[in-house]
Structure 1
Amino acid sequence: MELAEFAAILKSVRSARPGNFPSGVQPFDCRLASDSEIRQVENELNVRLPEKYKEFMQRYGGGEFLFVDLLPLVSLDGRAEDVVGVNQREPWSNDFVAVSPVGTGDWWGFDAVDGVCGDEVYMRIFEDGSREVWACDFLEFVSRQGLRVN
């Protein structure tokens, strides 16, 4: 999926759902990423993140994105979970970069080969570390999981 197509889907979803949320609920409460934060994360994790993911994080950001929680690249207060903190804490090696909790101990993220993340989004299963392809790229993943558009 390309960014323009995703933007059109998001616009449609936003216009179809105005005011349909409980008081105090922010369906899109995200923190945008800067170029320097992207470089910082890539350097600290020793990976190159997918381009569509980086573009999304700069344009829309990490945080609550309707029905999915996306880790911000960097936490503002240093206490909230972010991409660097989660990936340095978890037991997987440098071949997976988690970007979104499933809520069951499993994670959505990218496989990394020789320090380069592929476009596909995988679900990494907590129990055995196996992975299942979930979407062909990050924009499709957010459309399906976050916006519930197939």
Structure 2
Amino acid sequence: MEFEELEAQVESFRAGIAGRQYPPGFQLFDSMIATDAELAAVEAALGTQLPSKYKRFMQVFGGGVFSFVELLPVRSSDGSDEDLFSVNLGAYAVPDFVAVAPVGTGDWWGFVSEKGVCREQVDFLDHEDGTVHFQFSDFLQFVLVKGLRVAS
């Protein structure tokens, strides 16, 4: 999938929800935008190069809530929330796996890293047995299906 296709789907999704009333404080998009410097810092700290589509997404749309999926921001705005640094360098970090989105069950969606470069595909990490399972061909397909609930 190309980035322009995702942008068109996001625009269509936003048009479809325009005018709807939501409870106070409810947000469909958080938009914790990542800077080049933040992305470079997390790549250096993790010792791996993140996928280009993921990086572009984080620079345009950002982390946080993206409709029906929560994405880790690169850097927490106040340091108290989970972000790429705290999750992937913390006590529960998994070697050669970069977690980018919680599943909500203790499992994670993320990227397998091989020789300092993350694969483009998004995989599912099962926290109980540590197995990794293929889920999506790239990050844009992942956010389209999980975030916007558009069939791929």
TM above 0.5: yes
- In structure 2, the partner of 1:12 is 12
- In structure 2, the partner of 1:107 is 108
Q: Which amino acid aligns with 2:23?
A: S
Gaps of at least 5 residues in structure 1 are: none
Q: Which amino acid aligns with 1:5?
A: E
Q: How far has the Cα of 1:19 moved from its partner? A: 3.5
Q: Which amino acid aligns with 1:92?
A: V
What are the equivalent positions in structure 2 for 1:1-150 lying under 5 Å apart? 1-20=1-20, 22-24=22-24, 25-89=26-90, 90-93=92-95, 95-150=96-151
User: In the alignment, is the contact (CA less than 8 A) between 1:21 and 1:27 conserved in 2?
Assistant: no
CA distance in 1 between counterparts of 2:15 and 2:93 reads: 41
CA distance in 1 between counterparts of 2:68 and 2:84 reads: 19
CA distance in 2 between counterparts of 1:19 and 1:85 reads: 37
**RMSD between aligned alpha carbons?**
0.9
Q: After TM superposition, what 4+ stretches of structure 1 lie above 3 angstroms from structure 2?
A: none
Q: Deviations over 1:64-123 (max 9, x none)?
A: 000000000011211110001101112411x10000000000000000001100000001
What number of residue pairs does the alignment pair up? 149
Gaps of at least 5 residues in structure 2 are: none
CA distance in 1 between counterparts of 2:125 and 2:142 reads: 14
TM-score, scaled relative to structure 2: 0.95
TM-score, scaled relative to structure 1: 0.96
Q: How far has the Cα of 1:20 moved from its partner? A: 3.3
CA distance in 2 between counterparts of 1:21 and 1:98 reads: 33
CA distance in 2 between counterparts of 1:91 and 1:50 reads: 19
Q: Deviations over 1:28-47 (max 9, x none)?
A: 11200000000000011111
Percent identity of the aligned residues?
A: 48
